Amino acid sequence: SREELDEIYAFAVDLGKRAGQMLKDAAQLRMDGSSRTKAQDEHVQKMNAVDLVTETDEDVEAFVKTEITNKYPSHKFVGEESYSKGVRRDYLIDENPTWCVDPLDGTVNYIHLFPMFCVSIAFIHKNKPLIGVIYAPFINQFFSSCAGRGAFLNETQKLPLIRNPIAPMPEKAPAGCVFSCEWGKDRRDIPDGNMHRKIESFVNMAAELGGRSGRGGMVHGVRSLGSATLDLAYVAMGSFDIWWEGGCWEWDVAAGVAILLEAGGLMTTANPPPDEATCLIPDVKLGSRLYLAIRPAGPSATETGRQSQ
Ligand code: IPD
């Protein structure tokens, strides 16, 4: 019901704040170099040399999981660190009320003290991401959304923030657009392999879609933040026009998808079988590996005119 969803939203917002504070404290210790124990936050490899986990990932996940299972014992919990330790996983999202959590998205950023890292918490029901909370504590940005209630930055500013009343993006794209895309973790450089395809796409976006196509106007920029869920928050904000990544998991995108859709953005997937067969969300298909997100169009010129009168 509406009341139940609102209650879950309030719980998720509070939980996101507390988990984000844990990340902030841990990162501050790392920054100060003040502790030789926990603050060192030794990281270990998972799949390969760029797939890393720190003590902080695990501590925050344990905290969030305990809070959720105490409050909602019948809900399912899907967390990055509980699932990514080697065991081949089945499709994780289904009809049941499910929490999908990345305790620290942007782990490499966190390790290198680049501030684009966050906690990412989503509540999903009947395969729909209904609630999203993303807190990037080092830049004081807190994104949240609840189906039917809107998407917000720092709880007060409604998303999207960036509006383009004169030229809604699709008409002039790629001119004036900012693309965001991620390198992901699969660095196999085999012919037609992951790395090869990605480099090609990045170069195409930066160059071909820039001036060379002669179609007038240049793409404004290509970005790679290192946190898929934050990328989606910035698409929801309207700062990024387009985002794509091939290779991320449910927890990398779930909260971002909730926020993006609530802000009026679009998200689609483009996976080859057999993954496609396991994608149970018709529009977003959480559990896919390849995603494409497009920013909200924002209000039309007439709407904006009306608003400013
Ligand atoms: C990663 C980040 C990164 C993306 C990877 C993710 P993690 O998540 O979102 O931007 O390219 O696909 O796995 O490991 O930092 O939680």
Q: What is the pLDDT of residues 111-156, one digit of tens each?
A: 888 999 999 999 999 888 999 999 999 999 999 999 999 999 999 9
Interval between CA 185 and ligand 1 midpoint (Å): 7
The Cα–Cα gap between 293 and 171 comes to 17
pLDDT at 280 > cutoff 90: no
pLDDT tens digits, 193-228: 666 766 776 666 666 554 544 455 567 888 999 999
Most trustworthy range by pLDDT among 108-112, 168-172, 180-184 = 108-112
Give the tokens for residue 166.
Answer: 């004169």
User: Under DSSP, is residue 184 helix (H, G, I), strand (E, B) or coil?
Assistant: coil
Q: Span 268-289, mean pLDDT?
A: 50
Cis peptide before 282 (omega within 30 of 0): no
Q: Span 27-52, mean pLDDT?
A: 61
Alpha helices in the chain (DSSP H): 2-32, 55-71, 80-83, 107-112, 169-172, 194-203, 228-237, 250-262, 301-308
pLDDT at 246 > cutoff 50: yes
Tell me which of 167 and 94 has the higher pLDDT.
94
Q: Span 7-21, mean pLDDT?
A: 97
Interval between CA 308 and ligand 1 midpoint (Å): 40
The protein residue whose alpha carbon is closest to atom 13 in ligand 1 is 248
* Residue to probe by mutation, ligand 1, list 48, 53, 80, 182, most atoms within 8 Å of CB: 182
The atom of ligand 1 lying closest to the CA of 230 is 9
282: pLDDT confidence band, cut at 50, 70 and 90?
very low
pLDDT at 281: 39
228 CB under 6 A from ligand 1?
yes
pLDDT at 36: 44
The owner of tokens 């502790």 is 35
* Residue to probe by mutation, ligand 1, list 52, 54, 185, most atoms within 8 Å of CB: 185
The Cα–Cα gap between 156 and 121 comes to 19
The distance of Cα 191 from the centroid of its chain, to the nearest Å, equals: 29
248 CB under 6 A from ligand 1?
yes
Q: Span 180-199, mean pLDDT?
A: 71
User: Under DSSP, is residue 218 helix (H, G, I), strand (E, B) or coil?
Assistant: coil
**CA distances to 250, 261, 274 from 256, in Å:** 10, 9, 24
Asked whether 117 and 27 are in contact (CB, 8 A), the reply is: yes
102 CB under 6 A from ligand 1?
yes
247 CB under 6 A from ligand 1?
yes
93: pLDDT confidence band, cut at 50, 70 and 90?
confident
The distance of Cα 234 from the centroid of its chain, to the nearest Å, equals: 9
pLDDT at 161 > cutoff 50: yes
pLDDT at 305: 46
Asked whether 194 and 186 are in contact (CB, 8 A), the reply is: yes
Tell me which of 163 and 66 has the higher pLDDT.
66
90: pLDDT confidence band, cut at 50, 70 and 90?
low
The Cα–Cα gap between 92 and 100 comes to 9
Interval between CA 107 and ligand 1 midpoint (Å): 7
Asked whether 291 and 245 are in contact (CB, 8 A), the reply is: yes
